[in-house]
Amino acid sequence: MTLAVALPSADARHAAALMARALGLEIDPTDLSVGEPIDGAVNRTWPVVHGGRKYALRLRREETHFRYEKGVAKSALVAAIHAAKRVGSSDARAADGLAAASAGRLAPPHAPALVHWSNGDDLWALPWELSDWCEGTTLARQADAGSIARAGAAIAEIHSVRFEGGYPDLLSLGGKPQDFAAWLGAGIARELARGRIPPALARFVENVAARADRKVAWTLAHNDLHGLHLIDDAANATLWVIDWDNAVVAPPELDFVKLRYWTRVDAGTGQLTADPELYGALRAAYAAAGGPVLDIAVSRACEALWLLRVFHFETDRKLAGKPTPRLFPPAETYLAALHDLAKAA
C-alpha cells in the first residue's frame, strides 16, 4: 500500500500499517488508539497508543520549502553523530556513524528514543519515524524556576559537543570545515540572492557578514529551539528537546535566536512571542550550567541570518498558498525585526 502525503488522523488503518512496519508486528487497527495530529511547518505527528505504550508517529508532509537535508530521517542522523562525537570521534568518523549505530535505539540529545525511522519507503515516500512519547508541559505554556534550570542545563549539554568547523549541512560533515566568516557569508549570500530584501537592509546584512571575523565554538545546534520544543516533565525532573529536523553544526549563539523571538505563546494572540524575562532566565540558567559564553556580535550575525531565512520560508509558503501555522507570526514580522536590528546596530 502506498500512502498519499496527507495521512487522515481518523484512518487508523494507515497508522497501523506504519506501526506494523516499525515494530515488525501484525497490528489490528482496532488495537490502536490514534489521537489528534499535531501539525508543524513540514511534519505532522500523531500520538498513538499500542499495547499500553504511547508513541509519537511523525511523518514529513512536504519538502518543497524545507531548506535542510531532504530525504533524510534527521533524528537518527543527529543521534548517531552526537553519539560518535561524545566519544571523541573526528568529524569524518562521526559522519559515518549512522550505519554502525542503526542496530541500536538511537535518540538525539535529550529527546525520546527512536523505535524506527525511514528515509522513505513504500508506505510513506518521505522520511518518517516512530519514537517513544514524552510527557510534560512546553516552556511556551508554563515555565518556573525548575523547568528553566533544566532547560538551561539541557541546552548547555547539547552545546558541549564540539566540531572542527562549520558545514553547510550535516551531510557535509567530514568535508572541509568553514570558519565563521565563510559559513555566515555563504548563508547570507544565499538569502540575498533571492532578491526580496530592500537595498538598505541588504547592505546592513552584507556589512554584518563582512565583519564576521570572530573565532567561534562549533557545536551541534538544534536550530529550531523555541518554547514549544522544550518540554518539561517536572514529575521526573526531565527536560525533553524535540523536533531535530533543522539541526546543524553552528555557533551556540544560533540556538538562542528563536528562543528570543518565540519564547512563549501569547494568551491573547495565540502566537509565539518574545518574553524578555523568560529569555533572560534561560540564558542565565544556560550560563550557570556551563554553556559557552555567548558573543554579542556573533549573536547579532546569527539573528540577521535567521531573520532572512524565516522571512523567505514563510514568504515561499504564502506564495504557494500554504498558510503560516497558527502559532507562528507571518512573514512580514521578520522583515520588520530585521529593520529593528539594523537600527539598533
Percent of the chain with pLDDT over 90: 79
Full-model pTM: 0.93
Q: What is the dihedral of CA 271, 276, 280, 282, to 10 degrees?
A: -10
Using one digit for the tens of pLDDT, what is the confidence trace for 261-317?
A: 999 999 999 999 999 999 999 999 999 999 999 999 999 999 999 999 999 999 999
Q: How far is CA 5 from the centre of its chain?
A: 21
Q: So where are the chain's domains?
A: 12-132, 137-344
pLDDT mean over 152-169: 96
DSSP 251: -
pLDDT at residue 2, rounded to an integer = 39
Please say whether the dihedral angle defined by the alpha carbons of residues 134, 136, 139 and 140, taken in this order, is positive or negative. Answer: positive
- Selected residue with higher pLDDT from 98 and 219: 219
Using one digit for the tens of pLDDT, what is the confidence trace for 208-253?
A: 999 999 999 999 999 999 999 999 999 999 999 999 999 999 999 9
Give the ranges where the chain is alpha helix by DSSP (H): 12-23, 74-86, 91-95, 97-101, 145-158, 180-192, 199-210, 257-261, 276-288, 296-319, 331-344
Asked if 115 and 130 count as a contact pair (C-beta separation under 8 A), the reply is: yes
Asked if 241 and 109 count as a contact pair (C-beta separation under 8 A), the reply is: yes
Asked if 278 and 321 count as a contact pair (C-beta separation under 8 A), the reply is: no
Cell numbers 549570500 correspond to what residue? 189
Percent of the chain with pLDDT over 70: 94
CATH architecture of 137-344: Alpha-Beta Complex (3.90)
Cell readout for 240 is: 525533553
> Greatest CA span in the chain, whole angstroms?
61
Phi-psi region of 237 (alpha: psi -120 to 50; beta: other; left: phi over 0): left
